[in-house]
Amino acid sequence: MSRQPPGTRADYRWFHPITTRWMDNDVFQHVNNVNYFSFFDTAVTYFEMTEKVVGLLDGPVHCVVAEVACRYHASIAFPDRVTVGVRVARIGGSSVRYELAIFRNDEDTASAEGHFIHVFVQRGLQKPVPIPDDAREKLARIAA
């Protein structure tokens, strides 16, 4: 089984910078794998908030995570600067698949890549609902 090579910054459409913290490192002196998921979550949530894809804390619709995965290519460690690249790979009826990459400092090649599936749900009921048209338009802007 051959492994797909890491993506580059040119493969992604939207970027969010994050500074690693001392506490992100583990006993192996690199950022622990669980933190990559936090970086993904932070970038996607920041995108959805700033672009007003959903009313994160209010409004009739919000998003919940249905699936997340990560493939690691190279280590990062404190005090590296991280940039999370974001693109939309698929817009479904009630879900969106974000594809994400972690870039270390000014490197062009991803240190890690993964995906994050968000399902649009009715607030309070947590039942899937169709993606609103205005949200669909905003997601399409960063589609690959």
Q: Is 66 in contact with 117 (CB distance < 8 Å)? A: yes
pLDDT of 2 strictly over 80: no
Domain-by-domain residue ranges, the chain? 9-140
Q: Is the pLDDT of residue 42 over 80?
A: yes
CA distance 87 to 12: 5
What percentage of the chain carries pLDDT values higher than 90?
A: 93
pLDDT digits (tens, 9 = 90+) for 60-75: 999 999 999 999 999 9
Res 29 pLDDT > 90 = yes
If you average pLDDT over every residue of the chain, what do you get?
Answer: 95
* Coil vs helix vs strand at 34: helix
Using CA atoms in the order 76, 77, 83, 86, what is the torsion angle rounded to 10 degrees? 50
Class of domain 9-140 (CATH, top level): alpha beta
Tell me the pLDDT band of 50, cut-offs 50, 70 and 90: very high
Write out pLDDT tens, residues 82-108. Answer: 999 999 999 999 999 999 999 999 999
Residue 58 half-sphere exposure, CB side, CA atoms within 13 Å? 0
Scanning 4-140, the segments in alpha helix (DSSP H) are 33-50, 133-140
Whether residue 117 contacts residue 91, with contact meaning beta carbons closer than 8 Å, is answered with no
